[in-house]
Chains A and B, each alone.
Chain A
Amino acid sequence: MNDRRSFLFGALAVPLLTAVGPWQLMRKATAAAAQDPVPITMLGTPRGERVWFEPQGLWVAIGQTVRFINKDPANVHSATTFHPDLYGHERRIPAKAKAWNSDLLLPDAHFDVTLQIPGVYDYYCLPHLAHGMVGRIVVGTPEDVGWTEEPYYQSSQLEGQRGTFPEVQALLTKRVSPTHQ
């Protein structure tokens, strides 16, 4: 019976792979992966001594959806872009991008945002900016149409506040996020 199943699988799989081609299968898999939101979790120690985004820095392709999830059972968090429309902060997202704000998320709640404009997005947690709970997402690359050089991401320090952003070049080079220190 098992031999017969193996034979049938082989008989069906070989023509299928030949017809569709491995590249097409890979492209389909990549497209499916791109549609899945990339998670960024909001975390804290049990007593709230430390709070952070994990990963703190992330590179994603244009059009990728990012999901912020609060996994801190003892606190609420937000993912809020630095923008004059939101609490009067200086802009730290691409000029053509819309500001976004998850507002406060209770434990296990989440917020999705799809990033269509290439560039650097800096964000923070509303109740924890004073603590330096900030994060950075790089969308696309400087070679993409629409990417503009901006002074705000030349420095990894947040002026007048605690909080340090991962270097843009490091995120672009590795295309993976550094772990939280």
Chain B
Amino acid sequence: MLSYSRIAAFSICSVFAACAYSGDKTTADMAPPSAPYAKVSSLVKLPDFIPGLGTLYVAPETLPAGPFLGYDKDGRLSATIYMIPIKALTEGTAWNELKTGAAEVDSVDIYYNAGHPGVEEPHVHVVLFHDDMARQRLESK
């Protein structure tokens, strides 16, 4: 018979295991990620490398929310980005169970964006940085 402490320990382990596998296993730590991900600059007219976000890849069927995978100039996965249209959000649209590019998240930035090709309406960027130097690497010009 299992004790409560063992059940609790098992539950905690299960949660950690689930977290460890919550990353999207179709993605890659190094660019390019496998299909259906495609480079954003090949889908719409945008710079290859966007300061603050990096070189972006997205699975087109997940637009507009993403996840977008942001790689630094050395091709290392550094951020996962979601782009959430404000109008749809205020009208009640929800985005659930969005994948992450990697399980580890060091910090998150959330800010307004006026729009760009691919997500032209005003929206919110939710940026998950995957390590403590990721932000700095993605800012590099």
Contact = CB atoms under 8 A, between A and B. Distances in A.
Contacts of B50: 74-75
A104 B122 contact: no
Interface in A93-149: 104, 106-107, 126-128, 130-131, 133
Interface stretch (B2-10, B64-72, B108-116): B108-116
A127 B120 contact: yes
B52 interface: yes
A106 B114 CA distance: 17
Contact of B116 (A48, A49, A107): A48
A4 interface: no
Interface string A16-54: 000000000000000000000000000010111111000
Nearest to A48: B113
Interface string B103-141: 000000001111111001110010000000000000001
Most buried by B among A74, A104, A128: A74
Interface residues of B, number: 19
A69 interface: no
A127 B117 contact: yes
**Majority SS of interface residues in chain A?**
loop
A128 B45 contact: no
A171 interface: no
B47 A74 contact: yes
A147 B7 CA distance: 83
A76 B51 contact: no
B111 A47 contact: yes
Contacts of B113: 47-49
Interface of A: 44, 46-51, 73-76, 104, 106-107, 126-128, 130-131, 133
